[in-house]
Amino acid sequence: MATALGSATISFGLVAIPVKLFSSGKTSESVSFRMVHDKCGTPLKQQYMCPKDNEIVPRENIAKGYEFVKDQYVQFTTEEVKAVEEDPTRAIAISEFIPMDKVDPVYFDKPYYLGPDKGAERAYALLGEAMRQKGLVGIAQYAARGKNYLVMLRAVKEGLVMQQLRYAHEVRPFSEIDLPDTPEIKPGELKLALQLMEQNVTKDFRPEAYTDSSRARMLAMIQKKVDGQDILAIASEAPQAQIIDLMDALKQSLGEGGGSGAKKSAAAERKAAKRSPRPAKTATTAKKRKAAR
């Protein structure tokens, strides 16, 4: 069973629902490495070095600095930083309810599961059911760890999820991306693209159908090292040639043939026909040729 990270209270109007926070991810599933001494394998300890004085600085002499102009820092003590940090009220105060599709996923950050605290089961279930029926999500702010987070509460089949969101200033606008002018889309291209999409449409997202091949290779390599085996580098496959003709690529994806793919196939067949052995001479054929002479 998952262990709660902490507790909070969902509030809107005069309603208050005590909840517990749970991580939605499994940190133990990730493959991580520690820096160790290659001589003895002992994990290394991090130290901070002052390049100006060329000396190691102990933690009690480390201050926090903010670079207000290039290479100039204003210093803050730990007490000064704590004085301006957000008070961890643990209140998830919903300010508004909006349709789910109005929140662009580009704002999504880390998600957390919310479970009802003791005595809040009925109110928790009621809020989730109301949000599901209306297709709404709750936008709120949540103060914890000295920060004020923007979050979104959404109802799923199992319960409530608190999706941490990025603030507007934390999202890069698309206008910063240098894009060419939109090319003209031909009706035939659009038709083939739609057909290709329709062939691959499924009703549900099935994350269990996908596996992390990189993690599997890494774990296999680690096991080989534990067993005392050597690791041999495997050459990666050469990248496939880029298909420039969009219509040709779409037709090949749909299995319709035609285009350069069909031409290459026909050429290969002609080449194979030239290489095929000629039929053997029969006795009758030999006699006819001798009589003709």
CATH of the domain at 10: 2.40.290.10
Q: Is 169 left (phi over 0), alpha (psi -120 to 50) or beta?
A: alpha
In the chain, the number of structural domains is: 1
Taking only the tens place, the pLDDT of each residue in 17-39 is 999 999 988 766 678 888 999 99
Domain for residue 138, yes or no? Answer: yes
Work out the mean pLDDT of the chain and round it to a whole number.
81
pLDDT at residue 71 is higher than 80: yes
Taking only the tens place, the pLDDT of each residue in 73-131 is 998 888 888 777 766 678 899 999 999 999 999 999 999 999 999 999 999 999 999 99
Domain for residue 158, yes or no? Answer: yes
Strands 160-165 and 136-144: unpaired
Residue 50 — φ and ψ, nearest 5°?
-90, 115
Domain for residue 134, yes or no? Answer: yes
Domain for residue 92, yes or no? Answer: yes
| 3-class state of residue 223 by DSSP | helix
Domain for residue 104, yes or no? Answer: yes
pLDDT higher for 270 or 196? Answer: 196
pLDDT at residue 215 is higher than 60: yes
The helix (H) or strand (E) run that includes residue 23 is strand 15-23
* Spatial contact of 103 and 152, defined as CB atoms under 8 Å apart: yes
Domain for residue 140, yes or no? Answer: yes
| 3-class state of residue 211 by DSSP | coil
Q: What pTM was computed for the model?
A: 0.66
For residues 90 and 10, give the distance between their C-alpha atoms in angstroms, rounded to a whole number: 9
Q: Supply the Cα-derived Rg of the chain in whole angstroms.
A: 33
Residue ranges making up the domain that contains 110: 6-24+86-172
For residues 131 and 137, give the distance between their C-alpha atoms in angstroms, rounded to a whole number: 6
Domain for residue 125, yes or no? Answer: yes
For residues 116 and 10, give the distance between their C-alpha atoms in angstroms, rounded to a whole number: 10
Say what the pLDDT of residue 195 is: 86
* Spatial contact of 41 and 124, defined as CB atoms under 8 Å apart: no
Domain for residue 18, yes or no? Answer: yes
